[in-house]
Amino acid sequence: MSVSTDVGSTSQRLLPARAVPEDLDAHLAGFGPRPHLEAVAMLDALDASGLRGRGGADFPTGVKWRAVREHTGRGGDAVVVANAAECEPASFKDRFLLTYRPHLVLDGLEHAAEAVGARRVVIYTTKSHTDVEAALRAAIRERRRRDDSDRFIDVLVGPNRYVAGEETALVSRVSGHLAKPKVVPPRPFQSGVDHLPTLVQNVETLAHAALIARFGAPWFRSVGTERSPGTALLTVSGAVRTPGVLEAACDTTVGDIVDRAGGVDGEPATVLLGGYFGRWVAADRIWNKTIDALSLQSVGASLGTGVLLVATATTCGISETDRVLTFLASQTAGQCGPCHVGLPAIAETFHKVATGRARPAAIDLLVRWSHDIRGRGACRHPDGAMLFLASAMEVFAADLRHHLKNGSCRYSGQRPLLPIPATDAGWW
């Protein structure tokens, strides 16, 4: 997959002008030294900017940082963890950012640690992201040699598992335990790593925070919308001519983003937005929608992890959904019934429908089961999987009936669009 930096875009902020890793010299030449803001000033700037998390939750960043600081208390301590796991198989944006602009993320991490009063700072990535780990360790060594930071930043590597990057799973692994999600409350900002108040923040969000500290909230709000200010990184793939990582202001339409990725090789039929916990949406419903939260909500979608995958009519959405559901069912932590029992049963039933080996009642059964397990898991894994399933059953309803009656369609044997990565058997 290539990387498009779209140098001519007026909304270019996070991506470098050229796809070349920036060392500390290049970073300082472009941005200057990191400003040292008082905690209150940093938190106020985040609130005023309207920045929301870019890891999928879309939660106000200023609110999240304040919650950790309030639980730290006078004379207390906190932990900050940068989530660089990027366990979403169709997403590459965080890896690109860390490989090519690691110092911008590290600046944001420093601001976060100062704002919440943290002594321990960790960047959490996974075993498969060896390029990211190498880039981070090199950047941290540069900063130490320059005495650019008096704060020790540790890099911790976790397992290649889909839910190992979930917030509570990450906290568990940093605490020295298995990278499995935990039941909440308490949430990490209340009691996280080693029972300390913990801020877990996606790396793209940290990079935005670093820019806000330098240029201010009005600058950040100068693009995007009132509800969704600023820019966002997207991994654009599928039937586009130039797949890659793009940065777009949040008032940019899906169609415009696809045009920047070279356009569609064929007639667009559907779009998967948000990744494997996202939604399939008919292309004609979403093409002219901007990527701000309110616009996407009008078609039941969200930006999620920033995945934007385009499919044409020659893509079998049933086969693609079948493969992803099987993958998601294999990635459960096995800690609760909805995941351990429900997801495998749903994936198996959907596979039978996809291959024409199920009875007509199977579709009604899938609908009922998908409603029954929502909100009942220890984490959001079953909820995300069911959102993906429900959207597929809606958008590909006619195809689903065809598969039920006739088995695999003529497009089922096409090369898959959605990647299914190799994963670890364990949770370390």
* Calpha distance 96→84 (Å, rounded): 11
> pLDDT digit string (tens) for 311-327?
999 999 999 999 999 99
- Domain coordinates in residue numbering, the chain: 24-220, 231-312, 317-406
> pLDDT digit string (tens) for 21-79?
999 999 999 999 999 999 999 999 999 999 999 998 899 999 999 999 999 875 679 99
Q: Is the pLDDT of residue 156 over 90?
A: yes
So what's the pLDDT on residue 89?
97
Average pLDDT, whole number, for the chain? 94
- Confidence tier at 17 by pLDDT (50, 70, 90): confident
> pLDDT digit string (tens) for 199-210?
999 999 999 999
Full DSSP string of 122-134: EEEEETT-HHHHH
- Confidence tier at 5 by pLDDT (50, 70, 90): very low
Q: For residue 387, which phi and psi values (nearest 5 degrees)?
A: -65, -45
Kindly report the number of other CB atoms within 10 A of residue 10's CB atom: 9
CB 223 within 8 A of CB 238: no
So what's the pLDDT on residue 7?
34
Q: Is the pLDDT of residue 397 over 80?
A: yes
Please provide the CATH number assigned to the domain covering 24-220. Answer: 3.40.50.11540
Full DSSP string of 28-90: HHHH-SPP---HHHHHHHHHHHT-B-TTTT--BHHHHHHHHHHHH-TT--EEEEEE-----TT
So what's the pLDDT on residue 3?
47
> pLDDT digit string (tens) for 69-120?
999 875 679 999 999 999 999 999 999 999 999 999 999 999 999 999 998 9
Write down how long the chain is. Answer: 428
Residues with Cβ within 8 Å of residue 134, at least 6 apart in sequence: none
So what's the pLDDT on residue 390?
96
**Overall average pLDDT of the 267-277 stretch:** 97
Does the structural domain 231-312 have CATH classification 3.40.50.2300?
Answer: no
Fold topology of 317-406? de novo design (two linked rop proteins) (1.20.1440)
What is the rounded (10 degree) CA torsion for 163, 167, 170, 175?
-140
